[in-house]
Amino acid sequence: MTAISNLLRESADAAVPVLDAVTDDQVGSATPCADFRVGDLVNHLFQVVVNFQGLARREAADFSGTPDVLGTDWRARFAAETDALVLAWTPESVLEGVSPGMGLPQLAVGRMALLDLTLHPWDLAVATGRPYTPVPAAVEELHTMVDEMGPMAREWKVFGDEVPVAADADPFTRLLGRTGRDPHWRRPSV
């Protein structure tokens, strides 16, 4: 297994319980991502997980439209799709060269999948009042990614403006701030 596939496996294992716990009445709830409600974020996470399976195999990815999985058995399907994601990123050869679909080193593409599989479960957890603990090694890997790709990610509007956090904040809180998330965001009370 590659280091990325190990981190994807652990991160998927941390994410699955968060998605399993999302109830149907929460899909319209706000999230820390201003453009996404809970249901939108679930759909987006599926889009990412499925497309990054193909990117691992150097296939074209289609991010032009977001699938709507909410009317399906998406909770069980998410676990299966993350298993397929991990499998796709397992061969050592998957990290060689540049992604034809993204024009970035394959390692950077794998880290992008890891980023979504680490941050979006947090978004969903705080939006739905669920616990979530990210994988420390994934957080460390993602700080490296943000060091390398942060300016480009902001230019592409993948990250928002950096949110200041305390100098002594834990690594995940710092990662949230660096990627434009407010670590203190809380779901609105009804």
Q: What is the pLDDT along the chain (190 residues), one digit of tens a residue?
A: 779 999 999 999 999 999 999 999 999 999 999 889 999 999 999 999 999 999 999 998 888 889 999 999 999 999 999 999 999 999 999 999 999 988 999 999 999 999 999 999 999 999 999 999 999 999 999 999 999 998 888 888 888 899 999 999 999 999 999 999 999 999 887 6
- 166: tokens are 């305390």
* Listed residue (22, 6, 18) closest to 136, CA to CA: 6
88 touches 57 (CB < 8 A): yes
Does any domain span residue 47?
A: yes
Does any domain span residue 101?
A: yes
Does any domain span residue 186?
A: no
Does any domain span residue 93?
A: yes
- 52: tokens are 């990054």
Does any domain span residue 183?
A: no
* Listed residue (160, 127, 129) closest to 30, CA to CA: 127
The domain total for the chain is 1
Instruction: Give the pLDDT of residue 2.
Output: 79
Instruction: Give the pLDDT of residue 38.
Output: 98
Does any domain span residue 9?
A: yes
Instruction: Give the pLDDT of residue 152.
Output: 87
Instruction: Give the pLDDT of residue 41.
Output: 96
37 - beta bridge partners?
30
- 178: tokens are 């660096």
What pTM value is reported for the model? 0.95
79 touches 14 (CB < 8 A): no
Question: Cα–Cα distance between 109 and 98 in angstroms, integer?
Answer: 9
Question: Cα–Cα distance between 180 and 178 in angstroms, integer?
Answer: 6
- CATH code at position 11: 1.20.120.450
Q: Determine the structural domain holding residue 13 and report its residue range.
A: 3-65+74-178
Instruction: Give the pLDDT of residue 45.
Output: 96
105 - beta bridge partners?
98
Does any domain span residue 14?
A: yes
Does any domain span residue 80?
A: yes
